[in-house]
Amino acid sequence: MTEQPTEISATATAEGAEAPKKLFIKTYGCQMNVYDSERMAEALGAKGYVTTEVAEEADMVLLNTCHIREKAAEKVYSDLGRLRPLKQAKPDLKIGVAGCVAQAEGEEILKRMPLVDLVVGPQSYHRLPEMVEAKGKVVDTDFPEEDKFDHLPQRKALRGPTAFLTVQEGCDKFCAFCVVPYTRGAEVSRPAARLLAEARDLVSRGVREITLLGQNVNGYHGAGEGGTWGLGRLLREMAAIDGLDRLRYTTSHPNDMDDDLIAAHAEVPQLMPYLHLPVQSGSDRILKAMNRKHTAEQYLRLIERIRAARPDILLSSDFIVGFPGETDTDFEATMDLIRAVGFGAAFSFKYSARPGTPAAEKPELPAEVSDARLQALQALITEQQRAAQMAMVGREVGVLYEKPGRLPGQMVGKSDHLHAVHVTDSLGKPGQLVRVRITGSAPNSLAGEPLRD
Ligand code: SF4
């Protein structure tokens, strides 16, 4: 999961609202949180809130938090501390904490930060409209019986031609370092018919690319026509939606890459040639300690099968270095695995304990050891990432334009392989899917020219 603090910048309007109130949302963490923030903005839109990018002009500030990274809760408390002058200047300002830190900390947030008015967990944010109207402080960290998605308003296409769609939530894997099974609960898959309806609706609003989201997305097992559908079936049915040009999904567990899903990579042209498949370590000893339930060899064989289905697929992964007990030999095994696979991108982190997880009981490695390993691993990944980008130069790729670039006559979009591409195209408009020849590679993006008749 990536850590990308973002602020919602689109507008959610209320029908018949007297005067719009302003909502500022800060989103921490993964793409699922970005999606949740959009849905929270839509839910609060029904109560007259429109979003703003300026915290100072907001009537409500909502921090949609993530617990996956180091000192996550402390970062949230320090952000809340920074809101104190704002609350003093505007006593009616509502301050809310949502997401996984809200789930994990609950009432503790109100005790430590009395300026907070509401605390809402990831499974109950559909109740936000009632919560903002409540007198006094509210904490809701339930795992309610009702499905929150049934209680949220219709989607708005907030991110131009691309959209996220949560198909699955929660995780039953219990990796030893991870809080997700505790904060998001058990795996739940949304029914296929609802997802297809939501996807059709997004496409009717101009969306051309949908990324299916789940904490363990390839563990999807939703009720569908004729029985339970896996992710492969869901992707095939989504691909049949007229006007939906691209599909992606994230985040996956290696053990849930079944035959049908792998075959979908060969058979579904809309499924883009990019796969984020976290492995975390290349050492079997550490994989066992992490409770990942697969070996390095099994991961490598899986990659062979995926590449046999889709030879040009670009792979990305997550790595944790310095897990308790990791030796130099274990770390070298991780480096060997990276060399063997050749990744186009990766997210890598130094291990840090999450309270309440089994790994938190174990002694941590000295910081300097983990720092040095992280540096070495990131250098190798950067080398592979640059090589993957350079291999694109001279090739023709599809680019879905998302927005104008900084330079006049420039458009920015994503390639099939999820590279950011800056295209010199004065005729370009957001939402166009254009064939582009890649002409150059910068550290984190590509440059290209459109191929127009
Ligand atoms: S698969 Fe492991 S790392 Fe991923 S969400 Fe589940 S418990 Fe966390």
CATH of residue 431's domain is 2.40.50.140
pLDDT at 453: 66
| Edge-to-edge strand ranges of the sheet holding 274-276 | 274-276, 314-321, 345-350
pLDDT at 6: 42
CATH code of 74's domain: 3.40.50.12160
Cα–Cα nearest to 17, from 137, 129, 154: 129
Residue 221 and residue 340 in one domain: yes
Numbered residues of the known binding site: 30, 66, 100, 171, 175, 178
- Ligand 1 atom nearest residue 178's Cα: 8
Q: Quick check: CB of 216 below 6 Å from ligand 1?
A: yes
Q: What's the rounded mean pLDDT across residues 199-217?
A: 95
Q: Looking at the structure, do residues 285 and 422 belong to the same domain, yes or no?
A: no
Among 114, 140, 166, give the residue marking a domain's end: 140
Q: Which residues are annotated as a binding site for [4Fe-4S] cluster?
A: 30, 66, 100, 171, 175, 178
pLDDT over 90 (residue 451): yes
Domain shared by 294 and 260, yes or no? yes
Cβ of residue 246 lying under 6 Å from some atom of ligand 1? no
Question: From ligand 1's centre to the CA of 292, what distance in Å?
Answer: 9
As a whole number of angstroms, the distance between CA 453 and CA 415 comes to: 20
pLDDT digits (tens, 9 = 90+) for 147-179: 778 788 777 656 789 999 999 999 999 999 998
Give this prediction's pTM: 0.86
Domain check: are 301 and 172 in the same one?
yes
Q: Over range 339-364, report the average pLDDT.
A: 92
Given a cut of 90, whether residue 116 has pLDDT beyond it is yes
Element (H, E) at 222: strand 222-224
Beta bridge mates, 51: 23
pLDDT computed for residue 133 by the predictor: 86
Nearest Cα neighbor of 347 from 310, 385, 294 is: 385
Q: Which residue puts its alpha carbon closest to atom 2 of ligand 1?
A: 175
Average pLDDT over residues 120-130: 89
443 and 301 belong to one structural domain: no
Identify the three-state secondary structure at position 282: coil
One domain, residues 158 and 300: yes
Cα distances (angstroms) measured from residue 190 to each of 147, 351, 394, 418: 9, 32, 42, 26
Q: What is the mean pLDDT of residues 372-394?
A: 97
On the question of pLDDT at 144 being above 90, the answer is: no
Average pLDDT, the chain: 91
Least confident window among 214-223, 268-277, 356-365, 423-432: 356-365
Q: What is the pLDDT of residues 11-37, one digit of tens each?
A: 333 343 456 899 999 998 777 888 889
Is there a single domain that holds both residue 132 and residue 155?
Answer: no
> Is 345 in the same domain as 404?
no
pLDDT at 11: 34
Last residue of a domain, one of 103, 122, 140: 140
Q: Residue 267 falls within a domain, yes or no?
A: yes
Least confident of 2-11, 256-265, 358-367, 399-408: 2-11
Q: How far is the CA of 425 from the centre of ligand 1 (A)?
A: 41
Ligand 1 centre to CA of 217 (Å) is 11
Q: Are strands 314-321 and 274-276 parallel, antiparallel or unpaired?
A: parallel
Q: How do strand 410-415 and strand 420-424 relate by DSSP bridges?
A: antiparallel
pLDDT in tens, 277-295: 999 999 999 999 999 999 9
66 and 161: one domain? no
- pLDDT at residue 149 in the model: 80
Ramachandran area for residue 83 (φ above 0: left; ψ -120 to 50: alpha; else beta)? alpha
Domain that holds residue 60: 6-140
**Residue 199 neighbours by CB under 8 Å, 6+ apart:** 165, 210, 238, 241, 244
- The C-alpha angle 39, 40, 46, rounded to 5 degrees, equals 95
> Does the pLDDT at position 323 exceed 70?
yes
User: Is 190 inside a domain boundary?
Assistant: yes
